[in-house]
Every structure is written in C-alpha cells, then in structure tokens.
Amino acid sequence: MIKIAILGVGTVGSSVVKILEENADVIKARCGKKIVPLIGVVKDLSKARDVNIPLTDDIKSVIERDDIDIYVELMGGVEGTYSIVKEILHKGKSVVTANKAMLAYHRYDLQKVLKNATMGFEASVAGGIPIIKALREGLSANHIKAIKGILNGTCNYILTKMMNDKGSFKDVLKEAQELGYAEADPTFDVGGFDAAHKLLILSSIAYGIDAKPEDILIEGIDNISSEDIFFAKEFDYSIKLLGIAKKQGSRVEMRVHPSLVPKDHMIAKVDGVMNGISLIGDFVGETMYYGAGAGGNATASAVVADLVDIAREAQSPMLGFKSAGSKLSLMPKDEVETKYYFRIKVKDEIGVLAKIALVMEKSQISIESFLQKTEVKKSASTTLFFATHHCKEANVQNALREIEKLEFVLIKPSMIRIED
Amino acid sequence: MIKIAILGVGTVGSSVVKILEENADVIKARCGKKIVPLIGVVKDLSKARDVNIPLTDDIKSVIERDDIDIYVELMGGVEGTYSIVKEILHKGKSVVTANKAMLAYHRYDLQKVLKNATMGFEASVAGGIPIIKALREGLSANHIKAIKGILNGTCNYILTKMMNDKGSFKDVLKEAQELGYAEADPTFDVGGFDAAHKLLILSSIAYGIDAKPEDILIEGIDNISSEDIFFAKEFDYSIKLLGIAKKQGSRVEMRVHPSLVPKDHMIAKVDGVMNGISLIGDFVGETMYYGAGAGGNATASAVVADLVDIAREAQSPMLGFKSAGSKLSLMPKDEVETKYYFRIKVKDEIGVLAKIALVMEKSQISIESFLQKTEVKKSASTTLFFATHHCKEANVQNALREIEKLEFVLIKPSMIRIED
C-alpha cells in the first residue's frame, strides 16, 4: 500500500481522491499496490468539500508524519511552496506536483535535493496529456530539434473564437470569462506567462537547459485584431499562441508569442480549449500530442499516473538527464530568426509604400508577400500587410521603431511571427 | 555500458545502429550509460550493408554469448522468432522488439517467461509515436473507454489520396506501390491485418484482454469506391481505416474496418502516411497521438527509447498489469452496435425504395439519412445511400443478405461503419 497526503484539496485535489476511489481496481491491477490518500491539507477547514478523506489545516503536522510515502502538492504558489517541497524531499519522501510556476523557477534546485526520493510533475504541463513522459522517455533516442506547443487553453479558446466567429479580443475574452475558461484577472493566461512556465519545463527535459521566465521572449495575445484575423484567413494561416523551443547549433531559442501557422499543419487544427504539442526529433520526425490541457479530472489523471509510476518503481530521471550540465546555451532574444507579418495603418497618400519599403531594406528585411486593404472607399487611411522572409528579431524591432516614426503612420504598427 | 545484439539488420536495424552512434552523447546523458551494439545477426552475409558493426549469420552463437545485455529482435516472423525470443528471455536477458505479428499471437506467452528480464515493444505499434508508453503509463489512472487508431500508413495514404484526388482504389494502390508506400503484395496492409495486430497489442495494455487476430472483426479498404467517397464528402465525413476497441460494461468490442469519421474530429485530420491514435479515458477524456507510423528512423527511435528505459531501470510491467487475469471478455462480432452506411445500386423502377425500407424495418434498422444519386440522366440504374441510427451488426449483416436477394438490386450492396 502506498500512503499519500494531498496538500491542497481544490478542484484537482478532489479529482485525485475521486480517481483513487473510483478506479482503485484498475490502479491496483496496474501497479500491484493500493494507493490510499490518508489526509488532505486545506487552508480553510470551514469550506465545504466533496471529498471523503480526513482534512486538516496543519501542514506542519502532516509533513512530520512518518507514515506518508508520497506528498501530492496542489497548493500553487512559488517560494513558500518551494520551501515546503524541499523540506519533504530532504526527508527522503517523494513529491508529485502540478505546480508549473514553482518548477519554472526551481526545477533544478529541486532536482538537487532529490536524494532517494523522486518527483513527478506530469500534471504541470498540458494537463492530462502525457507530454513529459513522451519527451523524457518516448523520444529519448532523439536530439530534439524543436518543440511547438499550444500550451494554454484559454488563449486557444479565444483565438479559435476570433477566427471562427469574428469577435474582438475584448468581447471573446468576456465570453470566455463567463464560461469559466478565463480568470477574472486573465493576465497570467493571455499574457503568455502560463505557457512560458510550461515551455521552460519542457525545454529542460528536451535540452537540459536552465532558464527563467525573465530570460525568454514572452508576448500575449491581447494585441490580436480583427485585421490580423483577416490577413490570416487570406493567406491560409491559423493564429495560435505557441510556446516554441528550437535547437540552433549549440544554442536554444525559446519564445512564447502569437504565431501565424499554416492551416494544414496538425497543430493549426487544435481548436478551442484543447492543448496540442508538436515534438520534432532528429530521428522520429514530427510527433504531435493532443488533449485537455486543464480541468480537475484531466490534471488529476496525470497526477495519479505519476503516483502509479512511483508505485511501479519505474521512474525516469526527474528532468530526463542523469548527467548534469547541458552544453547548450540560451539564444539571446534579439538573435532569433523567423518570418514576420506586419500590419501598418497609414494615411492613404502617394509614396507611403516606397518609404516603408526603404525602411525594411535598410533593416535587411526582405518582403515575401504584400497586401493592401482599404476598409471604406475614399477613406483617408489604408492598412498595409507585409509577410517577410526569414530575418533577425533585432532588425524587425528596429524597423518597427523606424516605421512608427514615419509621419503618415497612424498607429503603432503590429507584428506577428510566422511559424512555418 | 549496456551491450546489445541486433537480430536482423535491415532498414530498422541499420537505423538503430545509426542512432546509437550519432546520438551517443544525448543517450548517455539521459540514461547514464553508453549503449553499444556489439554484433548484428543477418541471414545473408554477402549482402552489402551500411552498418559499422560486426555481422554474423550464426544466431545460435550470439544467443549463447554471456556478454550481451539486451537483444533487439528485428527479424520478423512469428513462430520461429517466438522460439528464439523465448530462449533469450529464459536466459534472463531482456528483449526489445518491433515484431507486432509475434506479439499479436504470443504477447501473453512471452509475458509468462519474463522472469527478471524485461521486454520492450514500443516500436511494434505506430512506429515512432510513444503510444505504448502513453497508454501503459501516461493514462494508467484511467479506465480506457475507447481506442480509435489510424494504425496503418499505407491504408491512410490510399484513402487520403482517394478523398483528395478522386482516384480509384486500384490506381491509387498502384501509385502507392511505386512510391514505396505499399508492398508488392499489399494484402497484409490493405486487408486490415497489420492494423489488427497493433490493435490487439494496444487492447491488452488498455484492458488486459487476450485475443488473437482470428477472434476479431477485420475488414480491409479494397471495397471503397468513388461513390463512397462521394457520399463521405456530401455528409462531411472522412473515410479512415480504424482499429477500434471499446469497453462496453464487462465486455470489450474490437474491430478493424473502414470508418466514416466526422471531418471535424481530430483523427479525421490525420492524412497521408501518418498514424494517429485517439485514447479516451474516463478521467482524462480524449487524447490523441500523431506521427510517423513506419520508416526505419521513426521505428528505430522507439527501439532505442526502450533500450534507454531498460538502461534507466525504469520499466513498467510489460503489458501494463502487475496482476494477471482481466475480468473483461471479448464481445462477439455479431453483437457490435454502431451506425452504418449502405450503398445499394438498383434498377431505377417504382417501389424499389419501399421494398428496401421494408427489409431494413424487419431487421430493426432505423434510417437516419438517405440520398439517391443517378449518374446519367435516364439511366436504367440508380444508387441509394443510407445512413442508419445505431443498430446491431448481426441485423445489418442479415439485412444486407436480404437486400442482395432482391431482384432489382444490381450488385452486392456495400456497407461502411460510421464512427461518431
């Protein structure tokens, strides 16, 4: 029998208890042991909860117990939780967590204090999709060429709705909030930070690379306009918030931002609140993983899978590497090279295109396609859409600053990166 | 250091050697050990091979060696290979295999002789996609409600081409043969047998159920006509050869056949030679896995992943269960219930529809939609298309026999099952 304590009994914690109860038969058959939740720790004991295990608000007493084999950490939070998890690992007990923010900052610190214990965190990325396992074990024969992931269901829901139903970002966000797909304060999701935490975790497993959210390029989806949607449709793209990690020689580029993705690519077909992650290995080629990236039951499915792995004594190295120290380094944001799309609203006057083209040329940006659209006939303004060939991020940022300064440019130009 | 022998050095075997050489750095970092192929066994030593390891045609001597830790079996074949693998396992040595036919017949026999050794077979299903791992470990918390898989790239290539380019089955098969996507004798693929072997392996892991290819419903794609393609397009379906396993109470239905799948479903979007498998768990919901299902490099990626798992000493129970004996039984073919599509070519005369409808009624088949199409004006024949509500396979087979007997029915009626 494996005895566990659940730290944090919210939606996911309750689902974990429910799975261990309802699926006890198949879980025991699969790992040879019964997995039993002995106790749950909550902040507020007065709150009604639909779980059938003893609860306490005294976390200290639970950590000091000798009869707990595995602690399931579902409290959230970064520094405070990190201290608690470290204390548990120091005692030689194992931890299973869904806490992506803690891992985004402390995954290597935690790996150091593992000793004989193990740490499972399948639930921290893409909910119920076994993406950690696929990357750490399934593709272990490969150098990972790239990871491209739709890692945030809220953003994907909003972007899918904008593509299909033509709503504005604000309207669709409001709708998503009413449906419970977006938080009251949506910044963490729509700003790309949640996806960035997940990308950092995946990148460690793919590349053994340590980086913090502050180190990488993170842009949200709040600037996507109906005109961008128009352009995307016109050129057969979907717009997706992608977490991208790519190996370029001895360096790894990592970034989270809205991307124009060719419609016929599998990842472009991942719609609504679903997550999808494409992993590209040098031998296996492209593989793609799809499923619910959030929700109590899906996330709890991943938590219990980690428990089963520990019960089976079939755990791979936490972050996928037995030997420490990657030879790969993070590529500075400015040196990223990709294709770009610009949207520039200008006064409809002679010479405008030539002047913009000149700025592009000076910044060594080569244009692949161009489209001009005037909303109303005889309007004083018009919108220019450019798609570029591959060029450097620094050059693009420079060009955008120069273009913004041109007197006929009416609003700050927009840019979306193209992923092909 | 882990020392391996490769039994069968063809396309996949050569790729295994190549991966172990080219990716030695990352493999050692991931499992802490070097994995070295000491020897390869081939049938014909005179054949030129592009591998840099010693070769022999004396398999007996290789099996008798004491310095081999893991045998990689890539010879193919069923009974003879089964004897050899059993002998290796008896000696306490581990085996990694890609041999789906052997596993389709002997997976439980092999599990019995495992002793301290382990057996990896990730490469036996869906090439490089880590689908065994996803099912056995990633979704271990779930009762698996259903498996729906595009498990054969040859069939998927042919069906995709027929949908997109309107070729006949014969023409597209010929093209696939020229491109190397289909064998000279394509029966094993287009007849559904290859997919059935893979489905049997997946079903064991999902349900702990033992069944042989002979026990389950297997139909190929060779009867799919351009008229079926027409109907599919008209009603927004894709046609896919699916391997389906579903839990129905204490029984499991298993079948391989062409299926009409709603176009907006993720699995319907898996095109060309690619494989895609949808796994549905009671808690995780639907997850989908996509990638190359064949090819030397992709398959070798899965073989080496198994080697890494063994090197890491992180192996789960071979078929996913520690306790033997599933309580689930196989549902007889006749009792399967699903939706169906019929195509019936008839003389264009009064009363035809009424008589067919009467047969359907007597067989307790309820019609959901109906379409009639006459190819040429004033033709003497016309084609009737029916889609049914859920009904029993036995009733459908009975109705088809009755309809075929009607004197105005011109050719044997066709039927495709609908998966929604």
With a threshold of 0.80, does the pTM exceed it? Answer: yes
Q: What does the pLDDT look like over A49-64, one tens digit per residue?
A: 889 999 999 999 999 9
Report the alpha-carbon distance of residue A244 to residue A192 in Å, rounded: 12
Domains of chain A, earliest start first = 2-124 (3.40.50.720), 131-292+318-333 (3.30.360.10), 334-418 (3.30.70.260)
Q: Which of B32, B298, B322 is facing A284, going by the closest CB pair?
A: B298
Q: Which residues of B touch A143 (CB under 8 A)?
A: 23, 26
Opening angle at CA B376, ends B373 and B379, nearest 5: 90
Mean pLDDT score of chain A? 95
Q: Which of B29, B301, B317 is facing A141, going by the closest CB pair?
A: B301
Q: Which of B27, B31, B138 is facing A133, going by the closest CB pair?
A: B138
Asked if B244 and B260 touch (Cβ cutoff 8 Å), the reply is no
Report the percent of chain A where pLDDT is more than 70.
99
Name which of A365, A98, A151, A392 is nearest A258 in CA terms.
Answer: A151
Q: Which residues of B touch A304 (CB under 8 A)?
A: 140-141, 283
Report how many Cβ contacts below 8 Å link chain A to chain B: 214
Q: Which residues of A touch B314 (CB under 8 A)?
A: 137, 314-316
Mutation target for A interface from B4, B11, B30, B145: give the one with most A CBs within 10 A.
Answer: B30
Taking a contact as any Cβ pair under 8 Å apart, which residues of chain A between 54 and 113 contact chain B?
A: none
Mutation target for B interface from A11, A21, A26: give the one with most B CBs within 10 A.
Answer: A26
Residue of B nearest to A140 (CA): B305
Cβ contact A286–B291 (<8 Å): yes
Mutation target for A interface from B4, B137, B261, B304: give the one with most A CBs within 10 A.
Answer: B137
Taking a contact as any Cβ pair under 8 Å apart, which residues of chain B between 191 and 210 contact chain A?
A: 208
With a CB cutoff of 8 Å and minimum separation 6, the contacts of B376 are none
Phi-psi map region of B76: left, alpha, beta (phi>0 left; psi -120 to 50 alpha): left
Cβ contact A317–B30 (<8 Å): yes
Q: Which residues of B touch A281 (CB under 8 A)?
A: 128, 301
Q: Is B130 helix (H, G, I), strand (E, B) or coil?
A: coil
Name which of B135, B186, B125, B137 is nearest B158 in CA terms.
Answer: B186
Report the alpha-carbon distance of residue A208 to residue A217 in Å, rounded: 19
Q: Is A88 helix (H, G, I), strand (E, B) or coil?
A: helix
Cβ contact A284–B292 (<8 Å): yes
Q: Does B229 touch chain A (CB under 8 A)?
A: no
Cβ contact B287–A130 (<8 Å): yes
Cβ contact B283–A32 (<8 Å): no
Asked if A123 and A306 touch (Cβ cutoff 8 Å), the reply is yes
Taking a contact as any Cβ pair under 8 Å apart, which residues of chain A between 153 and 182 contact chain B?
A: none
Taking a contact as any Cβ pair under 8 Å apart, which residues of chain A between 4 and 43 contact chain B?
A: 15, 19, 22-23, 26-32
Total count of residues recorded for chain B: 420
With a CB cutoff of 8 Å and minimum separation 6, the contacts of A148 are A242, A243, A244, A267, A277, A278, A280, A419
**Which value does ipTM take for this structure?**
0.96
Is A198 part of the annotated catalytic residue set? yes
Q: Which residues of chain B have pLDDT under 70?
A: 324-325
Read off the amino acid at residue A403. I
CA distance between the termini of chain A: 50
Residue B399: both structure tokens together: 């109705």
Q: What does the pLDDT look like over A348-367, one tens digit per residue?
A: 999 999 999 999 999 999 99
Q: Which residues pair with A274 in a beta bridge?
A: A292
Cβ contact B129–A15 (<8 Å): no
Residue A378: pLDDT above 80?
Answer: no
Residue of A nearest to B270 (CA): A266
* Candidate list B161, B198, B240, B246, residue with the active-site label: B198
* Candidate list A133, A161, A198, A339, residue with the active-site label: A198
Backbone angles phi, psi at B212, to 5 degrees: -110, 160
CA distances from residue B213 to A379, B225, B254 in whole angstroms, order as listed: 70, 26, 10
Cβ contact A304–B140 (<8 Å): yes
Cβ contact B282–A23 (<8 Å): yes
Residue A87: pLDDT above 80?
Answer: yes
Q: What does the pLDDT look like over A238-250, one tens digit per residue?
A: 999 999 999 999 9
Q: Does A308 touch chain B (CB under 8 A)?
A: yes
Cβ contact A290–B289 (<8 Å): yes
Q: Which residues of A touch B122 (CB under 8 A)?
A: 138
With a CB cutoff of 8 Å and minimum separation 6, the contacts of B242 are B148, B149, B150, B256, B257, B258, B259, B261, B267, B419
Residue A375: pLDDT above 90?
Answer: no
Q: Which residues of B touch A30 (CB under 8 A)?
A: 140, 317, 320-322
Q: How far is A316 from chain B (nearest CA, A)?
A: 6
- Which pLDDT band, with edges at 50, 70 and 90, does A324 fall under? low
Query: Which pLDDT value is given to residue B325?
Result: 62
Q: Does A305 touch chain B (CB under 8 A)?
A: yes
Kindly give the residue spans of alpha helices, DSSP state H, lying in B127-253. 131-133, 153-165, 169-178, 187-190, 193-207, 226-234
Query: Which pLDDT value is given to residue A325?
Result: 62
Report the alpha-carbon distance of residue A401 to residue B87 in Å, rounded: 71
Mutation target for B interface from A11, A20, A22, A30: give the one with most B CBs within 10 A.
Answer: A30
Q: How far is A244 from chain B (nearest CA, A)?
A: 19
